[in-house]
Amino acid sequence: MATTAIKKKNKTKTKGAAGSSKKSAKYVYFFGSGKAEGNAKMKSLLGGKGANLAEMTSIGIPVPAGFTITTETCAQFYELGSRWPQGLEAQIRANMAKLEKSMGAKFGDRDNPLLVSVRSGAAVSMPGMMDTVLNLGLNSEVVQGLIIKTENERFAWDAYRRFIQMFGDVVMNVEHEVFEHILESKKEQLGVKLDTELDPNDLKDIVRQYKKAYQDHTGEEFPSDPYEQLKKSINAVFASWNNPRAKKYRLLNEISGLMGTAVNVQAMVYGNMGNTSGTGVCFTRNPSTGENKFYGEFLVNAQGEDVVAGIRTPEPLDQMQKKWPDIYKQLVAIRARLENHYKDMQDIEFTVQEKKLYLLQTRNGKRTAAAAVRIAVELVKEKRIGQNEAILRVDPKQLDQLLHPTFNPKQAKKCIVKGLPASPGAATGKVVFNAEDAESWAASGESVILVRIETSPEDIGGMNAAKGILTARGGMTSHAAVVARGMGKCCVAGAGEVKIDYKAKQFSVGGVTVKQGEFISLDGSLGEVYQGQLETIEPELSGDFAKLMKWADQTRRLKVRTNADTPHDSLVARKFGAEGIGLCRTEHMFFEGDRIIAVREMILADNQEGREKALAKLLPIQRKDFEGIFTEMKGLPVTVRLLDPPLHEFLPHEEQNQKEMAGVMNVSVDVIRHKVASLHEFNPMLGHRGCRLGISFPEIYKMQARAIIEAACNVKKKGLKVLPEIMIPLVGMKKELDLLKQDIEDVIADVFESKKTKVPYMIGTMIEIPRAALTADKIAETAQFFSFGTNDLTQMGLGFSRDDAGSFLGAYLEKGIFEKDPFQSIDQEGIGYLIQLGVEKGRKVRPDLKIGICGEHGGDPASVNFCHNVGMNYVSCSPYRVPIARLAAAQAVIREKQKKK
Residue 857 bears catalytic tag: no
Backbone φ, ψ for residue 627 (5° rounding): -60, -40
**Distance (Å, whole) CA 865 – CA 322:** 50
Q: Which of 457, 519, 516, 469 is nearest to 495 (CA)?
A: 469
The helix, strand and coil proportions of the chain, stated in percent and rounded to the nearest 5, come to 50, 15, 35
Helix and strand numbers (H, E) in the chain are: 34, 34
479: annotated active-site residue: yes
3-state secondary structure of 536: strand
Q: How far is CA 205 from CA 135, 353, 733, in A?
A: 18, 26, 82
The C-alpha torsion from 696 through 702 and 704 to 709, rounded to 10°, is 160
Residues 478, 482, 485, 489, CA torsion sign = negative
Instruction: Give yes or no for a contact between 861 and 373, defined as CB atoms under 8 angstroms apart.
Output: no
CA atoms of 380 and 41, how far apart (whole Å): 23
Q: Alpha-carbon distance 817 to 814, whole Å?
A: 8
Strands 262-267 and 116-121: antiparallel
Please, is 354 exposed, middle or buried when counting C-beta atoms within 10 Å of its C-beta (0-12, 13-18, 19+)?
Answer: middle
CA pair distance 445, 251, nearest whole angstrom: 21
Alpha carbons 490 and 368: distance in angstroms, whole number = 10
Q: Which residues make beta-bridge pairs with 136?
A: 116
H-type alpha helices, 697-769: 698-717, 734-755
Name 358's bridge partners.
Answer: 351
Q: How far apart are the first and last CA of the chain?
A: 30
Cβ burial of 636 (10 Å; 0-12, 13-18, 19+) is: buried
- Rounded to whole angstroms, the Cα distance separating 509 from 611 reads 63
- The Cα 681–Cα 702 span in angstroms is 25
How far apart CA 443 and CA 465 sit, in angstroms, is 8
Among 479, 648, 857, 868, the active-site one is: 479
Decide: 65 and 360 in contact? Cβ < 8 Å.
no
Q: What are phi and psi of 529, to 5 degrees?
A: -120, 130
d(CA 197, CA 187): 9
H/E run at residue 815: none
Residue 699 and residue 605: Cα distance in Å, rounded? 13
* Cβ–Cβ < 8 Å for 59, 337: yes
C-alpha to C-alpha distance for 453 and 456, rounded to whole angstroms: 10
Sign of the Cα torsion 297, 301, 304, 305 reads negative
Residues 6+ apart with CB under 8 A from 422: 288, 474, 476, 478, 480, 481, 484, 485, 491, 492, 493, 494, 524, 527
C-alpha closest to that of 767 among 843, 709, 829, 682: 843
| Strand positions, DSSP E, 487-580 | 490-493, 499-501, 506-509, 512-515, 519-523, 528-531, 536-537, 559-563
Q: 236 with 131: CB under 8 angstroms?
A: yes
Q: Where are the alpha helices (DSSP H) in 444-566?
A: 460-465, 479-487, 544-555
Of 74, 490, 854, 867, the active-site residue reads 854
Q: What residues act catalytically? A: 479, 854
